[in-house]
Amino acid sequence: MKTIHLFRFNDSIFRKIPFFKEEHRLKTDVTELDLMNIEIVTEYIVKTHDDFSFDNTSGNDLLSMCKKAQKTIEHYFVIKLDHYDFI
């Protein structure tokens, strides 16, 4: 068995964290969240067989694996602040 990380954003599953720049990640508590447009990427830590192949696994199977994850981590990214786009 091996441990893998899967990332979910907008109902799609990825091997790596998608699209967002590290400098736009929220790292502290922010009290003015209503001023920001926040996107959430969910990371799933999953145990799977040693011969697991992401490319040969269906989307439904990947989603099922995510539902059975050992641990889930949410990553928050700011994409808009006060009408100024970051992306």
Token pair belonging to 71: 């641990």
Domain definitions of the chain by residue range? 2-85
At residue 65, the pLDDT reads: 96
Per-residue pLDDT 10s for the chain (87 aa) are 999 999 999 889 999 887 666 665 666 555 455 556 778 889 999 999 999 999 999 999 999 999 999 999 988 877 755 555 444
Torsion of CA 64, 14, 21, 32, to 10 degrees: -20
At residue 46, the pLDDT reads: 97
At residue 81, the pLDDT reads: 54
CA distance 37 to 1: 39
pTM: 0.76
CA distance 34 to 32: 5
